[in-house]
A and B are shown apart, each in its own frame.
Chain A
Amino acid sequence: MEPKNNTDELLKTTGLVILLGLAFSIAYWGMFDVAGRFLPTWDNSMLHAGRAVFIMETGHYAEMEVVFGGVTRTYHLPAYPALVAGTALLTGLDFAWTERLLTMVLSTLLAFAFYAVAKGISGDWRAGVIAGIFALSSTNLMTWGTRNSPIGLGNALLPIALYLLLKRRTLAAALCALVIALDHQPTLIVFALSAFLFFVYEYLSSLPRANLSVGRIFSNIMHPEVLTASLAGLAAFLTYMAWHVRQTGLACLNFSCLPQFGAKEFGKSIDFLDYFSKSPQAIALLGILLLPLSKAPNRNKALAFAWLLACIILVKNDLLGIGAFTERFLTYLDGVVAVFAGVGIAIVLSWMENKKEPASA
């Protein structure tokens, strides 16, 4: 539901103020109340700060780990430390104040990103507001996504990148994909799989119904309606592979050398019955059921379900014999679940609006 008059516009703005105010207040409380005397230090966040300081001190990225004696070539990606170092350079702030500033900005951006993508999918600003609030209610998302670490940047960029795919902003989507590829591997995997599934939908739906030839099947990858997903996916894949080959050479093209996969970190199997029996996940079932029946364009539905399916595959990757990072991917599942919950509630509200008044006697 696009705002139809000044009153609607005012209500929409009020919704955004509530959402962004909530995000800002949580981040402010965390950074200036709980962590007031310094910075949060859990989840290796100071390692990333250390890499940022390395750039600030030397002008180069730390090619080796800054702990464990500094003898191991790093697998960590450079985007977040570069963002901290660049912001410090531009603002004149020290690394700690830069981290505080960026955390506040990224936490608020996270809420806005979920607002944008849910509104983009459903066409109703109310879906955006409630999706944002549900995203901010996710302990997984807030634990990993609202502190001074690359995940904070990745969690905000993922919904933005998917929104850009939805709106066919090809250059912006490719640039966003490139930054995700240089920021955080799990976020990249979620984006790449979501974009790929969406690409498959766009590709198949853009194929001509008649006169289908072999040449057309291949050339259709660059069809204008498929181009955004194709280029964003390629940007993410090629950027990460360039970094991966730079760090590991050609001997690890199947990624088996990456310690996360070798150690099968966080490989616990997730029980979906238990997961979807909690709130707000249970509310998301409303959106999963109602979105296919709604008037939203089919490609909007396709993007939402591509994102959901990608997260489900990754959370349940133990069923594919991988069993790595399953719990970490819950963070991303919580995000798309918040979007579906928002979309579901917005559809119900629209239905209530359009319900005919009973005829008066």
Chain B
Amino acid sequence: MERRTLISAAFLLACAYLSATYTYPQMRAALPGWYDPVVTASEIRAAEWAYDNVPHQSHFAGDMFACEMLTAVAFQICSIGGAWELADNPNQRYMDNERAFLTDSATEAHDLLAKYNITYVFVSTRQEPNKNFYAYGWKQPLIEKFDTPGLFEKIYDNESTEIYVVK
């Protein structure tokens, strides 16, 4: 056998070994966080319900991941997103959005959401409690306040995901 063939064959064996023992395991260790869907199956079903039952391009409020998912699955506009640097007054919007979900005051939440003409609130209790709400980092939202008649009205409640109308 020619020397060139032997060297190329040995090279290919090394490539296969490198792929199997280094590259593939390395990527399996490095990438899961980036491939994480974050949003739950329940949230996606709720968004599909919203696509069918809520006027398209309505203004929703949610956490960052739910918001971005809603733009695609439910064809809606949302209060915040990941590309915060591209927004009008993004830090104020982020802060107000976060406050609306974290405050225990239904009135304060209503006022903050009304300030940005939000008509629907999208909330979910995710199974991983440290991934419940993302704005400035992961936070724990207080969602009981949205059950305040006169300020909010629940229109969807299934599998720990709820949608409210902002009155």
Contact = CB atoms under 8 A, between A and B. Distances in A.
Question: Looking at chain A's contact residues, is the secondary structure mostly helix, strand, loop, or mixed?
Answer: helix
Interface residues of A, number: 65
Contacts of A57: 56, 75
A205 interface: no
Contact of A69 (B22, B68, B116): B116
B41 A38 contact: yes
A298 interface: no
A99 to B, nearest CB: 9
Contacts of B90: 68
Interface string B57-70: 10100000101110
B68 A50 contact: yes
A10 to B, nearest CB: 10
A129 B77 contact: no
Given A8-B8, A68-B79, A69-B116, A47 B71 contact: yes
B53 to A, nearest CB: 16
Contacts, number: 189
Contact of A42 (B2, B34, B71): B34
B81 interface: yes
Given A40-B34, A133-B19, A52 B72 contact: yes
A39 B79 CA distance: 21
A34 B18 contact: no
B5 A75 contact: no
A53 B71 contact: yes
Interface in A257-293: 259-260, 263, 265
A352 B24 contact: no
Contact of B30 (A67, A143, A147): A143
Interface stretch (B9-17, B142-150, B154-162): B9-17
B23 A136 contact: yes
Interface stretch (A25-33, A153-161, A208-216, A231-239): A25-33
Interface stretch (A14-22, A164-172, A222-230): A14-22
Contact of B93 (A25, A43, A68): A68
B31 to A, nearest CB: 6
A67 B87 CA distance: 8
A15 B81 contact: no
B71 A46 contact: yes
B15 A129 contact: yes
B39 A143 contact: no
Q: Which 5 A-B pairs have the closest CB atoms?
A: A67-B81, A50-B71, A68-B87, A46-B68, A49-B72
26 contacts: A1-B4, A31-B35, A35-B35, A38-B37, A40-B36, A41-B37, A41-B68, A41-B69, A43-B34, A46-B69, A47-B71, A47-B83, A50-B68, A50-B71, A51-B71, A53-B72, A54-B75, A68-B78, A69-B59, A70-B59, A76-B83, A133-B23, A139-B27, A139-B31, A142-B27, A349-B8
Given A47-B82, A139-B26, 9 more contacts: A22-B24, A26-B27, A38-B39, A53-B71, A68-B78, A129-B12, A130-B11, A133-B19, A147-B35
